[in-house]
Amino acid sequence: KAGVTQTPRYLIKTRGQQVTLSCSPISGHRSVSWYQQTPGQGLQFLFEYFSETQRNKGNFPGRFSGRQFSNSRSEMNVSTLELGDSALYLCASSLSTGNTNYGYTFGSGTRLTVV
């Protein structure tokens, strides 16, 4: 069974640019969540998608956005990049439907460096 696949693994971008990260969940998982991981702030929740709808959103500025496609694949976009956006971005998929929570399966992440 394939795990959660995130692409690309590494990215270097310049301040002001925008970036799109991709996530393919485990087959059958309809819930996809995104987290930002930094040494100082730990794992911060960005948003969660279920059946192409954003179901939960964390406390990040509107520059951070996402979407989910009908095959449950998800993308997140960060516009007008800032130095502070440098982080490991983790995608996680889950069997959770909303009535019962299940654990996440995380991908290996995309390491974004903004210079």
Residues contributing to the site for another protein (CB under 8 A) = 4, 31, 33, 35, 42-43, 45, 48, 50, 55-56, 90, 92, 94, 96, 98-101, 103-109
Whether the CB-CB separation of 25 and 93 falls below 8 Å is answered with yes
Residue 37 beta carbon to another protein: minimum distance, rounded to whole angstroms: 9
Which is nearer to another protein, 79 or 105 (by Cβ)? Answer: 105
Q: How far is the CB of 77 from another protein (least distance, A)?
A: 20
- Per-residue DSSP letters for 3-53? --EEE-SEEEE-TT--EEEEEEPPTT--EEEEEEEETTTEEEEEEEEETTE
Category of 83 on φ-ψ map: left (φ > 0), alpha (ψ -120 to 50) or beta: alpha
Q: Which is nearer to another protein, 14 or 42 (CB)?
A: 42
Q: To the nearest whole angstrom, how small is the minimum distance from the Cβ of residue 16 to another protein?
A: 28
Q: Which is nearer to another protein, 19 or 93 (CB)?
A: 93
Q: Report the residue number, 64 or 104, with the smaller CB distance to another protein.
A: 104
Query: Which phi and psi angles does 8 have, rounded to 5°?
Result: -80, 175
